[in-house]
Amino acid sequence: METPETRRPARPPSHTDTHADIDYRLAFAHAPVGMVLSRNRTMVDCNARLCEMFGADRDALIGQSFRVLYPSVAEFERIGKRMEPILNTKGRYADNRMMRRVGDLHGAMAGETFWCHVTGHALNRALPHEAGIWIFEDLGSRRAGKAELTPREREIAAQVMQGLTSKEIGRALGISHRTVELHRARLMRKYTAATTAELVQKLISGP
């Protein structure tokens, strides 16, 4: 007969027990969002979803600068600088931005632009670009941003999608709110949008 002296509590599952059957490399490879491991803004590994999103084989992306995913060098440089103080402080960064497909594989069209939600985590806050983990989510469902936008218009459009006012956008980008309003008015005309909500919808899905 079991007594209090002989009764033993059930051994709680150990860290090894609960995780031994999880293949983290497989989880990375088949994640439903694009994932990239980076060093100094260069891609050192990526998963299948990222390749599909940007229309390229893994071998065509590994070793490449993130620059190849941006519509312009100016945007690559400006966004990189804007991320640094935020990564320094929080270790994390997120925004919406327009990206560019690299190749014609997986149903993509090389050079096509699309809206993407990007989230990143710096492994070393003191050197935020030294090493990081980045996630890319296609907001456009493979529909191009068809209106011809300048690099600055794309940056302002990305901020509009975050729900920021002209003054807030101006502070974020280091420009006057009047300059923001001029670009915002041009975006409304280019997308034939009557309201900000309509503009956001058209930015995501294409005009």
CA gap 203, 197 in Å, rounded: 10
In this predicted structure, what is the pLDDT of residue 70? 95
Per the model's pLDDT, the better-predicted residue between 179 and 172 turns out to be 179
Average pLDDT, stretch 90-101? 92
Average pLDDT, stretch 154-172? 86
* Residue 204 CB neighbours (<10 A): 16
pTM given for the model: 0.69
Residues of the chain with CATH 1.10.10.10: 147-207
Angstrom CA distances, 129 to 41, 47, 52, stand at 6, 20, 25
Tell which residue, 204, 193, 200, has the closest CA to residue 137. 204
Is the per-residue pLDDT at 53 higher than 50?
Answer: yes
In this predicted structure, what is the pLDDT of residue 23? 81
**Burial of 23 by CB count in 10 Å (0-12 exposed, 13-18 middle, 19+ buried)?**
exposed
Angstrom CA distances, 174 to 128, 152, 178, stand at 21, 12, 12
CA gap 137, 87 in Å, rounded: 20
**What pLDDT, in 10s, does the model give residues 26-50?**
999 999 999 999 999 999 999 999 9
CA gap 146, 113 in Å, rounded: 8
In this predicted structure, what is the pLDDT of residue 194? 84
**Phi, psi (5° rounding) for residue 45?**
-165, 150
CA gap 60, 51 in Å, rounded: 9
Give residue for tokens 């084989």: 57
Percentage of the chain beyond pLDDT 70 is 85
CATH superfamily of 33-144: PAS domain (3.30.450.20)
Domain 147-207: which CATH number of 1.10.10.10, 3.40.50.300, 3.30.1360.120, 3.40.1390.10: 1.10.10.10
* Residue 48 CB neighbours (<10 A): 16
One-letter amino acid for residue 68 of the chain: V
In this predicted structure, what is the pLDDT of residue 119? 96
- The DSSP output letter for 20 is T
Residues of the chain with CATH 3.30.450.20: 33-144
Mean of all residue pLDDT scores within the chain: 85
In this predicted structure, what is the pLDDT of residue 142? 46
SS3 149: coil
Q: Of 140-144, 165-169, 192-196, which range is least confident? A: 140-144
SS3 166: helix
Average pLDDT, stretch 55-69? 97
The tokens for 58 are 């893994």
